[in-house]
């Protein structure tokens, strides 16, 4: 074929800048996706190590490896890193950036420079958060929620952490706007809304949440800054403010943020399941509509984080009812994924293992969410390890497993190399066993009454904690296998040159491996529905 | 490039030593809050505090400390937070599997020097009645004291309050003191978990101290919805702006025609 510059892969393309500048100043959506991937993987390792230290502290009652103040700081840092740096940008920033334009037949996102700016804002936000650990009066100890009034009372370094989260919010909003405009404007000819693959659909729902919800947390965090620096009484009762208002504002963002995390995860799973089942996805429109329904109803359920905080009985019933309502579209998706696999010819590969285990852990997370969503049981298990187990099953079991599935699915396309499949499967097995051993006992501990956020516990909780802490070590061992395999394979893995190693039907499998700078030589015309295996 | 200057500037601002009016002094500093609690963990109660029991007899406070002790500071005529607080103590005593008077004891002391032993007696009878199980009445005793001794005791445990007219502005906490007179833990608020109580008692018995896990700072304060109107306005205007902004994007995307992608 022609040897014009267009045919050079995006990895080898030489632009205006050389070396690392060619990456951190690149406006190519694929390179930006990888910048996010590397940043996220690095901080995920940091967050995981902190989690491991916390679980090691909890292996026996009393002071084992750290004191209470250290523990408080570590769970705060663990939360801030995992939520604001990893799962909120997560799949949209990495795989959305990389694959959204390719999957809808475009050469880039609508605003490539804003796209690069959003990565820079994200990195600056991270740096600001990190300064809170090393400067001033010691790392913050409020938990990632920065609940008032404690966040005004603690002498620790809360402001930079809050401000860093605020800055990262802008990155999120810009990515959201970029994706919405890209999806509206840049779909290939023939790709009508209902011919668009499900991952872009999930990014579309997510992008609207990012645009609508993120400013709320931005304003709230600014109010904290105003209160701490200028002493205006928004939330602090000592100044005539209302701490419950803070909780409302915080969760008006942070609950939809859970859907920012999980919707793209569901989108990635909806890509993987049909490819490895060799079967058209079951109920395409139902999945699309449930995505939009989750994005919409997800706005109105924030109060279920506050059942014990003091609200009117009527508000409690309304929030509980809406919480049950939002479970329905999630259940529809699970039903559709399982139906897609039914009578398919299953190709048991690493991405598929991750996807199926996603469904398994997501269901445990979802069903325990209903236990928390109903008023009576919520009061019993509120602020216990049950809650911790639940949201780790959703956020880590959901988003985390889907992220791993997505990495293993799109890896050959992104790097033009294949990972060692045996090691990848081994990593998955160890990780999965470790995950369940780590988090399942927490449900039990929570029901027994072990509170969350304590560095210490009564002797009767010891056995459950031993199991959980051992699980943490097993899981991290699995993680190590997975990461080493991926990092090594990105450089030295077996070369992949064929366009479609998994037999996918979406557009990213029609372009070169790895994609060229502009993805498509000619913009394709789409006349088939995605996942057309019939 | 202005954006890039803005961030370092904000970092400087957020780290700068601005006078933080909401926290005039952290733990360990002498000029603590006017109202509230400065945790004096690992410090000792002075030996010379004398309080007065329900029969009007002076009692050496130190001599009472023969087991892990919860000190509760209230005033008996309190129209606000003291009743829920004392009720919270009665509830947790009813629910815990530890034996009051044996594993631990509670000492309630009024910090209003105008109150006499008969008020203490009425309160004792009322709240003893609230405990839903068999218990040793000496496990929860009620006292009053004169202003000098109240001053010594409240300052020793870091309890700060302020008189306004006939009443007081103050907060509540269960303050744990070991049999050696050492302050080991504070449980803030008005509602207590049995697990918190048990851990505090076990650690107090061992003379270990620990910082507060949950600082529910329940103040006797009056919330004025009318005076807080500006907060609601900020949130309302913010919300309207967000929705307007998002609706504009959507309308522009739907109404205007897409430009053709150039294929060069």
Task: Report which of B7, B228, B152, B164 is spatially closest to residue A131, judged by C-alpha positions.
Answer: B7
Q: Is B70 helix (H, G, I), strand (E, B) or coil?
A: strand
Q: How confident is the model at residue A157 (pLDDT cuts 50, 70, 90)?
A: confident
Residue in B18, B228, B245 nearest the CB of A242? B228
pLDDT at A231: 76
- Name chain A contacts of B198, Cβ cutoff 8 Å: 458
**% of chain A beyond a pLDDT of 70:** 98
In angstroms, the CA B170 to CA B163 distance is: 9
DSSP A428-492: HHHHHHHHHHHHHHHHHHHHHTPBTT-S---GGGHHHHHHHHHHHHHHHHHHHHHHHHHHHHHHH
pLDDT above 80 (res A126): yes
- Name chain A contacts of B27, Cβ cutoff 8 Å: 155
Q: Min CA distance, B178 vs chain A (Å)?
A: 18
Mutate to test the interface with A, among B4, B14, B234, B249 (most CBs of A within 10 A): B14
pLDDT at B162: 87
| φ, ψ at B37 (rounded to 5°) | -130, 130
Q: Min CA distance, A240 vs chain B (Å)?
A: 6
pLDDT at B163: 86
- Name chain A contacts of B210, Cβ cutoff 8 Å: 68, 456
Chain B contacts in chain A segment 153-182 (CB below 8 A): 153-155, 157, 159-160, 163, 167, 177, 180-181
pTM of full prediction above 0.90 = no
- How big is chain A by its Cα radius of gyration, in Å? 23
ipTM of model over 0.90:
no
pLDDT in tens, chain B (264 residues): 444 444 444 444 444 443 333 333 333 345 567 788 888 888 999 988 999 999 999 999 999 999 999 999 999 998 888 888 999 999 999 999 999 999 999 999 999 999 999 999 999 999 999 998 899 999 999 999 999 999 999 999 999 998 887 888 888 899 999 999 999 999 888 888 888 899 899 888 888 776 665 444 444 444 555 665 666 677 788 888 888 989 998 999 888 876 665 544
Q: Is A70 on the interface with B (CB under 8 A)?
A: no
What does the block give as tokens for A372?
Answer: 């928390």
Task: Report which of B194, B185, B202 is spatially closest to residue B94, judged by C-alpha positions.
Answer: B194
pLDDT digits (tens, 9 = 90+) for A347-380: 999 999 999 999 999 999 999 999 999 999 999 9
Residue of chain B whose Cα is closest to the Cα of A235: B231
Q: How confident is the model at residue A16 (pLDDT cuts 50, 70, 90)?
A: confident
What does the block give as tokens for A508?
Answer: 């990213």
Q: Min CA distance, B21 vs chain A (Å)?
A: 5
Chain B contacts in chain A segment 198-227 (CB below 8 A): 208, 211-212, 215-216, 219, 223, 225, 227
Contact A149 B35 (CB under 8 A): no
Contact B221 A240 (CB under 8 A): yes
Chain B contacts in chain A segment 235-274 (CB below 8 A): 236-242, 245, 249
Q: Taking the mean position of all CA atoms in its chain, how far away is CA B81?
A: 11
Chain B contacts in chain A segment 102-121 (CB below 8 A): 106-107
Q: How confident is the model at residue A154 (pLDDT cuts 50, 70, 90)?
A: confident
End-to-end CA distance of chain A: 32
pLDDT at B212: 61
pLDDT at B231: 64
In angstroms, the CA A60 to CA A129 distance is: 31
DSSP H or E segment with residue A36 = helix A29-57
Q: Min CA distance, B118 vs chain A (Å)?
A: 33
In angstroms, the CA B95 to CA A151 distance is: 31
Task: Report which of B155, B162, B166 is spatially closest to residue B219, judged by C-alpha positions.
Answer: B162
Contact B261 A106 (CB under 8 A): yes
Report yes or no: A160 and A202 within 8 Å, Cβ to Cβ: no
Q: How confident is the model at residue A226 (pLDDT cuts 50, 70, 90)?
A: confident
Report yes or no: A269 and A275 within 8 Å, Cβ to Cβ: no
Say how many CB pairs under 8 Å bridge A and B.
130
User: What is the CATH code of the structural domain delimited by B36-205?
Assistant: 3.40.30.10
pLDDT at B7: 46
pLDDT at B116: 93
Strands B50-52 and B162-164 turn out to be unpaired
Compare A5 and A295 and report the one with higher pLDDT: A295
pLDDT at B221: 43
Contact B23 A229 (CB under 8 A): no
Q: Cis before residue B214, ω within 30 degrees of 0? A: no
Task: Report which of A394, A334, A326, A335 is spatially closest to residue A364, judged by C-alpha positions.
Answer: A394
Mutate to test the interface with A, among B22, B26, B232 (most CBs of A within 10 A): B22
pLDDT at B11: 46
Contact A241 B33 (CB under 8 A): no
> Helices (H), strands (E): how many in chain A?
18, 2
Q: Which of A38-42, A226-230, A320-324, B202-206 has the lowest mean pLDDT?
A: A226-230
pLDDT digits (tens, 9 = 90+) for A229-253: 887 778 877 677 788 888 998 999 8
pLDDT at A235: 83
Contact B14 A163 (CB under 8 A): yes
pLDDT at B29: 42
| φ, ψ at B145 (rounded to 5°) | -160, 165
Q: Min CA distance, A32 vs chain B (Å)?
A: 19
Q: Min CA distance, B117 vs chain A (Å)?
A: 32
Task: Report which of A420, A524, A521, A512 is spatially closest to residue A11, judged by C-alpha positions.
Answer: A512
In angstroms, the CA A363 to CA A398 distance is: 9
Residue of chain B whose Cα is closest to the Cα of A209: B246
pLDDT above 90 (res A218): no
In angstroms, the CA A188 to CA A184 distance is: 11
pLDDT at A6: 59
pLDDT digits (tens, 9 = 90+) for A517-534: 999 988 999 988 888 887
Q: Min CA distance, A127 vs chain B (Å)?
A: 10
DSSP B141-201: EEEB--HHHHHHHHHHHTEE-EEETTEEE-B-EEEEE-TTSBEEEEEESS---HHHHHHHH
Contact B217 A150 (CB under 8 A): yes
Q: How confident is the model at residue A45 (pLDDT cuts 50, 70, 90)?
A: very high
pLDDT at B232: 67
Q: Which domains does chain A have, with CATH numbers?
A: 23-509 (1.20.210.10)
Contact A216 B239 (CB under 8 A): yes
- Name chain B contacts of A108, Cβ cutoff 8 Å: none
The domain ranges of chain B are 36-205
Report yes or no: A112 and A175 within 8 Å, Cβ to Cβ: no
């Amino acid at each position: 074929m022609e040897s014009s510059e267009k045919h050079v892969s995006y990895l080898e393309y030489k632009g205006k800048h050389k070396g690392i500048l060619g990456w951190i100043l690149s406006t190519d959506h694929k390179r930006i996706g990888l910048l996010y991937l590397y940043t996220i993987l690095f901080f995920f390792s940091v967050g995981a190590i902190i989690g491991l230290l916390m679980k090691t502290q909890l292996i026996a009652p009393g002071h084992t490896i750290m004191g209470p103040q250290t523990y408080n700081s570590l769970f705060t840092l663990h939360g801030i890193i995992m939520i604001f740096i990893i799962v909120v940008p997560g799949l949209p920033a990495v795989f959305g950036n990389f694959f959204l334009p390719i999957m809808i037949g475009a050469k880039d996102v609508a605003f490539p420079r804003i796209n690069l700016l959003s990565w820079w804002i994200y990195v600056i936000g991270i740096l600001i958060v990190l300064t809170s650990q090393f400067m001033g009066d010691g790392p913050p100890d409020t938990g990632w929620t920065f609940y008032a009034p404690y966040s005004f009372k603690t002498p620790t370094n809360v402001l930079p952490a809050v401000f860093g989260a605020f800055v990262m919010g802008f990155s999120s909003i810009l990515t959201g706007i970029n994706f919405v405009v890209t999806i509206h404007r840049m779909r290939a000819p023939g790709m009508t809304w209902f011919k668009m693959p499900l991952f872009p659909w999930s990014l579309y729902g997510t992008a609207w949440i990012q645009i609508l919800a993120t400013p709320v947390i931005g304003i709230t965090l600014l109010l904290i800054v105003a209160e701490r620096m200028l002493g205006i009484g928004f939330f602090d009762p000592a100044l005539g403010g209302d701490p419950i208002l803070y909780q409302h504002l915080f969760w008006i963002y942070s609950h939809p943020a859970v859907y920012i995390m999980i919707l793209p995860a569901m989108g990635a799973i909806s890509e993987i399941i049909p490819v490895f089942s060799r079967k058209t996805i079951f109920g395409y429109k139902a999945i699309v509509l449930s995505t939009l329904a989750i994005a919409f109803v997800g706005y109105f359920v924030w109060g279920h984080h506050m059942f014990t905080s003091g609200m009117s009985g009527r508000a409690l019933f309304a929030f509980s009812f809406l919480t049950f309502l939002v479970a329905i579209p999630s259940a529809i998706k699970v039903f559709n994924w399982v139906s897609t696999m039914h009578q398919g010819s299953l190709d048991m590969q690493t991405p598929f293992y991750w996807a199926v285990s996603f469904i398994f852990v997501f269901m445990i997370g979802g069903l325990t969410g209903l236990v928390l969503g109903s008023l009576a049981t919520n009061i019993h298990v509120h602020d216990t390890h049950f809650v911790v187990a639940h949201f780790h099953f959703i956020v880590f079991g959901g988003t985390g497993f889907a992220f791993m599935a997505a990495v293993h699915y799109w890896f050959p396309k992104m790097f033009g190399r294949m990972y060692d499949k045996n090691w990848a499967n081994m990593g998955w097995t160890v990780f999965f066993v470790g995950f369940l051993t780590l988090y399942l006992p927490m449900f039990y501990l929570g029901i027994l009454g072990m509170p969350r956020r304590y560095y210490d516990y009564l002797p009767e909780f010891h056995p459950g904690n031993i199991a959980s802490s051992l699980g943490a070590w097993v899981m991290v061992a699995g993680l190590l296998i997975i990461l080493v395999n991926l990092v090594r394979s990105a450089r030295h893995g077996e070369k992949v040159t064929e366009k479609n190693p998994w037999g996918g039907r979406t557009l990213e499998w029609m372009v070169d491996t790895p994609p060229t700078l502009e993805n498509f030589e000619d913009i394709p015309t789409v006349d088939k529905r995605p996942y057309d295996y019939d | 490039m202005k954006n890039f200057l803005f961030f370092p500037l904000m970092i400087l601002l957020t780290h700068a030593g601005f006078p933080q009016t909401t926290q005039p002094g952290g733990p360990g500093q002498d000029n603590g809050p006017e109202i509230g609690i400065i945790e004096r963990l690992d410090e000792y109660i002075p030996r010379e505090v004398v309080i007065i029991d329900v029969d009007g007899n002076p009692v050496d406070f130190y001599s009472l400390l023969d087991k892990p002790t919860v000190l509760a500071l209230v005033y008996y005529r309190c129209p606000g937070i003291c009743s829920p607080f004392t009720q919270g103590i009665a509830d947790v005593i009813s629910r815990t599997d530890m034996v009051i008077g044996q594993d631990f004891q509670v000492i309630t002391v009024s910090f209003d020097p105008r109150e006499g032993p008969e008020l203490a007696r009425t309160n004792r009878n009322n709240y003893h009645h609230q405990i839903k199980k068999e218990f040793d009445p000496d496990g929860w005793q009620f006292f009053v004291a004169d202003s000098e001794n109240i001053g010594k005791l409240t300052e020793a445990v870091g309890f700060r309050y302020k008189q306004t007219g006939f009443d007081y502005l103050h907060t509540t906490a269960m303050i744990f003191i070991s049999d050696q007179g050492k302050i080991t833990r504070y449980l803030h608020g008005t509602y207590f978990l049995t697990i918190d109580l048990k851990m505090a008692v076990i650690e107090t018995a061992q003379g270990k101290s620990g910082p507060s896990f949950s600082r529910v700072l329940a103040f006797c304060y009056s919330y004025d919805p009318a005076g807080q109107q500006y907060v609601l306005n900020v949130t309302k205007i913010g919300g309207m702006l967000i929705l307007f902004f998002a609706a504009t994007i959507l309308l522009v995307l739907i109404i205007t025609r897409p430009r053709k992608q150039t294929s060069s």
